[in-house]
Amino acid sequence: MWTIIHKMGSPPWFFRISGVLVRWLLPITVMLLVCGALWGLLVAPPDFRQGNSYRIIYIHVPSAVVALAGYYVMAFAGAVSLIWRIKMADVTMRAAAPVGAVLTAIALVTGAIWGKPTWGTWWVWDARITSMLILLFLYLGVVALFEAYENKTAAARACAVLSLVGTVNIPIIYKSVDWWYSLHQPASIKFTGESAIDASMLYPLLLMIVAFYCLFAVAVLLNMRAELTWQHRESGWLRQIVSGA
């Protein structure tokens, strides 16, 4: 058990393993994305009230789901790096933050694009939308804090502290925004879709969620490899792997 953890903390070992992992995961991700997109966009039936515009959920929902999970990945990596001072956890956290921020932004933008034909407006201060916006700010804060520090080891620890404080806060933020919404806003805009989603629409959605998880993993791994390459650009082991492979 401990040897595996020690190995995971070693950049050369991780670089080799992640290379193999990406080689397998990347084609799988592309395949899942293409299948899910084709299924969702072409095969799944149109919604009886929204017509075809609902199909954006095949991008919107997966990116929102993975964006939320990504914050916890980042915070967990941050906790590991704070407690055990494992360098690779730093790299993971650093790599996950921009990916999560981009996914959050995608969720917000696709939501706005969907909202225009459906609700007649680009933006409403709905509880979930507002929470996602705050999540975007939390991500951007971590990215900006990392960039601002000169000493990158200290930067990683600072970001770990921040993301942990954010993690404790996220459920409170969600709950409070929920209460705020139900208190201040009359329910003028109702979610137009029916409560239960039909299986013919659900399966491609689930497939897309799995595809986005894989996409997140691939993006984070590639990001980590880029970061490691930069950090160890002078080391012999990297030269060996790059020239040997």
Partner 1 sequence: MSYSKTSIWQPMSSEVASLSIWGAFARQFMRHCKSLVGSPADAINPLLFFFMVVTLFPLGLGPDPQRLAGMAPGILWVVALLSSLMVSAKLFASDYEDGSLEQLAMAPYPLAVLVMGEVAAHWIATGVLLALVSPVFATMLGLSSAALPTLVASLMLGTLSLTLIGAVGSALTVSIRRGGLLLSLLIIPLNVPVLIFGTTAVSEAVIDGNTVSWLALLGGLALGSLALLPLAIGAALRVSLDN
Q: Minimum distance from CB of 230 to partner 1 (Å)?
A: 20
Among 20-28, 161-169, 212-220, 221-229, the segment contacting partner 1 (CB under 8 A): 161-169
Q: In Å, what is the CA distance from 216 to each residue of 3, 50, 209, 240? A: 27, 29, 10, 28
Alpha-carbon torsion angle 10, 12, 18, 23, nearest 10: -170
Instruction: Give the whole-angstrom CA distance, residue 135 versus residue 68.
Output: 8
The three-state secondary structure class of 44 is coil
Residue 87 near residue 235 (C-beta atoms within 8 A): no
44 in contact with partner 1 (CB under 8 A): no
Instruction: Give the whole-angstrom CA distance, residue 181 versus residue 86.
Output: 41
Using the rule CB under 8 A, which residue among 30, 164, 197, 210 binds partner 1? 164
DSSP per position, 219-230: HHHHHHHHHHHH
Instruction: Give the whole-angstrom CA distance, residue 144 versus residue 163.
Output: 12
**Closer CB to partner 1, residue 176 or residue 192?**
176
**Closer CB to partner 1, residue 4 or residue 183?**
183
Using the rule CB under 8 A, which residue among 37, 109, 162, 238 binds partner 1? 162
**Closer CB to partner 1, residue 15 or residue 139?**
139
Interface positions, 82-111, toward partner 1 (CB under 8 A): 82
Instruction: Give the whole-angstrom CA distance, residue 107 versus residue 57.
Output: 9
- Per DSSP, helices labelled H in 85-126 are 87-119
Among 26-34, 108-116, 137-145, 234-242, the segment contacting partner 1 (CB under 8 A): 137-145
Residue 89 near residue 174 (C-beta atoms within 8 A): no
Tokens of 28: 């799988």
Q: Minimum distance from CB of 139 to partner 1 (Å)?
A: 10
Tokens of 102: 């981009």
| Distance between first and last Cα of the chain | 29
Per-residue x/- mask for partner 1, residues 172 to 211, rule CB under 8 A? xx-xxx-xx--x----------------------------
Task: Please give the size of the binding site for partner 1, defined by CB under 8 A.
Answer: 32
Q: Minimum distance from CB of 154 to partner 1 (Å)?
A: 4
Instruction: Give the whole-angstrom CA distance, residue 235 versus residue 233.
Output: 6
Q: Minimum distance from CB of 113 to partner 1 (Å)?
A: 24
Using the rule CB under 8 A, which residue among 166, 207, 216, 218 binds partner 1? 166
Among 63-71, 101-109, 164-172, 226-234, the segment contacting partner 1 (CB under 8 A): 164-172
What residue ranges bind partner 1 (CB under 8 A)? 82, 134, 137-138, 140-141, 144-145, 148-151, 153-155, 157-158, 161-162, 164-166, 168-169, 172-173, 175-177, 179-180, 183
